[in-house]
Amino acid sequence: MDIATFGAGCFWCIEAILLSVPGVHSVQVGYSGGDIANPKYEMVCKGLTGHAEVAQVKFDKELLSYEKLLSIFWEIHDPTTLNRQGNDIGTQYRSCIFYHDNFQKEIALKLKDKLQKSYSEAIVTEISTFENFYIAEDYHQNYYNNNKNAPYCNIVIKPKVEKYLNEKK
């Protein structure tokens, strides 16, 4: 198994999509990229920690390459909006890749450069060294599957998951 850590807006949305990707073994949501140890959701939401909402993905690199996983990451959000995805606004919703080694760094930079050619706006995705990951509170884990009737799940997450799945057909 290999590990990837990135943020693309609300971690509930990222998690719901990535759990449907063949080769993904598990997804944990949490916080990364900040300077406060053991942050709580309320602190992160207020933008007081420097952390982003992220998904940490364990994947089988024999079934799913890091490059393919990053391609999915780029597909499921708008990497040109600074500190925002849809109605979710703040540094905690920034587009970010926290690479775990030089191979991941090289792939992330290469794909960003390649993808930039298809955007008129600059890609603002932060590409930084992975330093820490703090798992989010239990109720955030597998949020979409555990709360499918919640308004946010129906209005925001479900359309994103369906769009991704329909594009894969």
The pLDDT tens digits along the chain (169 residues) read: 999 999 999 999 999 999 999 999 999 999 999 999 999 999 999 998 999 999 999 999 999 999 999 999 999 999 999 999 988 999 999 999 999 999 999 999 999 999 999 999 999 999 999 999 999 999 999 999 999 999 999 999 999 999 998 887 6
d(CA 98, CA 54): 9
- Looking at residue 157, which CATH number applies to its domain? 3.30.1060.10
d(CA 156, CA 149): 12
User: What pTM does this model have?
Assistant: 0.95
d(CA 147, CA 25): 21
Q: Has 96 been annotated as catalytic?
A: no
Overall number of domains in the chain = 1
For residue 93, give its domain range: 2-167
Give residue 62's pLDDT: 96
Q: Is 122 left (phi over 0), alpha (psi -120 to 50) or beta?
A: beta
d(CA 22, CA 103): 22
Give residue 7's pLDDT: 97
d(CA 90, CA 10): 11
Give residue 168's pLDDT: 78
Q: How far apart are the first and last CA of the chain?
A: 26
Q: Which residue has the tokens 């600074």?
A: 82
Active-site choice (10, 13, 96, 153) = 10
Evaluate whether 37 touches 126 at the Cβ level (below 8 Å).
no
